[in-house]
Amino acid sequence: MFGLKDDGSIRQFLEELKTRPDIKKSGRMLELGTLWDPIHRCLTEGELDAAGGDFPLNTAVLGGKQLLKGTDYTAVLIRPDMTRFIADAIAELEEDEVRKKFFALKGGSYQGPIDEKHFMEMWLRLQDLKVFFEAAAENMEAVVFTGKFQP
């Protein structure tokens, strides 16, 4: 992957990686769907800013080394030595604290639904993200986050 230089080649590599049966079976892939957006906002300062918020929570989704230069799609590499910090920080989050941040997104730049149902979906996926980072930390694996920005 590090030998790939242009966005098209990197995106193609990542798409092929996501469709490999061995990756799907291994548990080394976590699909967040569009919930990555409110998760990142709740872990940071409420915006889609990779530099917003504090380490290590700001690194869980959009932080890390940017692999693409485009504006409609992102791919971020999170180094193996960062995964333990992220897993531990997510584990320390309290549901009430995250709930307040989620409902505070109303009226801001976030355009997704803000209600109890969507909060619970996001909270459950955040727990999956914690488990995912714990496994990556245990195995000293890097994490690559990919996401499509919604218009």
Which residues fall within 8 angstroms of residue 138, CB to CB, at 6 or more apart?
A: none
Residue 5 — pLDDT band, cuts 50, 70, 90? Answer: confident
pLDDT at position 105 over 80: yes
- In a domain, residue 1? The reply is no
CB 68 within 8 A of CB 10: yes
- In a domain, residue 75? The reply is yes
At residue 99, what is the residue type?
R
CB 78 within 8 A of CB 64: yes
CB 20 within 8 A of CB 28: no
Condensed to tens digits (0 to 9), the pLDDT of residues 34-72 reads 999 999 999 999 998 988 999 999 999 998 999 988 788
Q: Tell me what pLDDT residue 78 has.
A: 95
- In a domain, residue 2? The reply is no
Q: Domain of 57: which CATH number?
A: 3.40.1760.10
pLDDT at position 127 over 70: yes
The residue range of the domain holding 43 is 7-148
Of the listed ranges 76-80, 126-130, 144-148, the least confidently predicted one is: 144-148
In the chain, the number of structural domains is 1
